[in-house]
Amino acid sequence: MTDKMNHSSNEPEVETTEPLHFLSKVEASAIETELLRDYRFGQQQLIEIWGYACAIAITKAFPLKSISKKQPTVLVVCGPEQNGSVGLVCARHLRIFEYEPTIYYPKRSSHSVHQDFTVQCEKMDIPFLSYLPTEVQLINDAYNLVIDATLGPESDPKDIKEPYSSILVTLKQVKIPIASVDVPLGWDADEADKEGISPEVLISLVAPKKCATNFSGKHFLAGRFLPYDIQKKYELNLPEFPETECLIEL
């Protein structure tokens, strides 16, 4: 046996004395690199963890019983990179939780990890829209909410290209609530942007980004798996997650 068999202390998960740290783009990218390279987390694994936690967040913010329309429809708008795949996983779990997600995924990634998540949704008969209606009332009427899993912290809001610039115009006009994953469409991860959309719900992954500092809506931190050493190194000062919850409302 190793001499580690008898543990001498139970390392605390949380340090509550310091305020929550809001990550810059650079820090967010560094943490992800470290998780993938040093801790050998897989991209597929992280996307599954995050997408599942996003689905749980949606069930808390919009419980089935509170849904006003007859059908619990949800429109999930997915971007071309990792954030989009988180949206795909979220849609798949929402389907399992008896919601009725519909996916709009205009630019599909050529990476096999993203393609696999797409097939999983297709094979579960989750409908994919071939285009997003420009008539906003159609969206308001058809869905209870929109999940914005469009662009992540890596994107530059000053350089949003089609089809995302048109999606931004549309989503700025919808009247149903929007829940954004990590960074709302049109925002810069380092600062909130009034040119972007105005989500009612924000689901931060790993830790909230700087842009979320003054976010006044419902704000979840999703995905409870971060190694303690990473939490310490980046002084994240994450709050204590209740019991076995995979997310926490900030």
Binding-site ranges for its own copies (CB under 8 A): 1-2, 4-7, 10, 13, 38-42, 44-45, 48-49, 52, 55-56, 59, 71-73, 92-93, 96-98, 100, 102, 113, 115-116, 119-120, 123-125, 127-131, 133, 138, 142, 224-225, 227-229, 243-244
Strands 218-222 and 247-249: antiparallel
Find, among 226, 199, 229, the residue nearest to 58 by Cα.
199
Identify any residues that bridge with 129 across adjacent strands, giving them in sequence order: 104
> Between 241 and 250, whose beta carbon lies closer to its own copies?
241
Residue 92 near residue 124, CB atoms below 8 Å: yes
Alpha-carbon distance of 84 to 114, in angstroms, equals 8
Q: How far is the CB of 185 from its own copies (least distance, A)?
A: 20
Q: How far is the CB of 200 from its own copies (least distance, A)?
A: 20
> Between 111 and 192, whose beta carbon lies closer to its own copies?
111
Residue 187 near residue 173, CB atoms below 8 Å: no
> Between 58 and 197, whose beta carbon lies closer to its own copies?
58
> Between 50 and 215, whose beta carbon lies closer to its own copies?
50
Residue 199 near residue 222, CB atoms below 8 Å: no
> Between 100 and 154, whose beta carbon lies closer to its own copies?
100
Q: How far is the CB of 179 from its own copies (least distance, A)?
A: 16
> Between 30 and 128, whose beta carbon lies closer to its own copies?
128
- What SS3 class is residue 77? strand
How close are the terminal C-alpha atoms of the chain, in Å?
42
Alpha-carbon distance of 134 to 138, in angstroms, equals 8
Q: How far is the CB of 138 from its own copies (least distance, A)?
A: 8
Residue 209, φ and ψ in degrees, nearest 5? -90, 160
Q: What is the largest CA-CA distance in the chain?
A: 67
Q: How far is the CB of 156 from its own copies (least distance, A)?
A: 30
For the chain, the residue count is 250
> Between 26 and 113, whose beta carbon lies closer to its own copies?
113
Would you state the structure tokens that stand for residue 197, as one six-digit string?
């959309």
Q: How far is the CB of 11 from its own copies (least distance, A)?
A: 8
Dihedral class, residue 30 (left if φ above 0, else alpha if ψ from -120 to 50, else beta): alpha
Q: How far is the CB of 71 from its own copies (least distance, A)?
A: 5
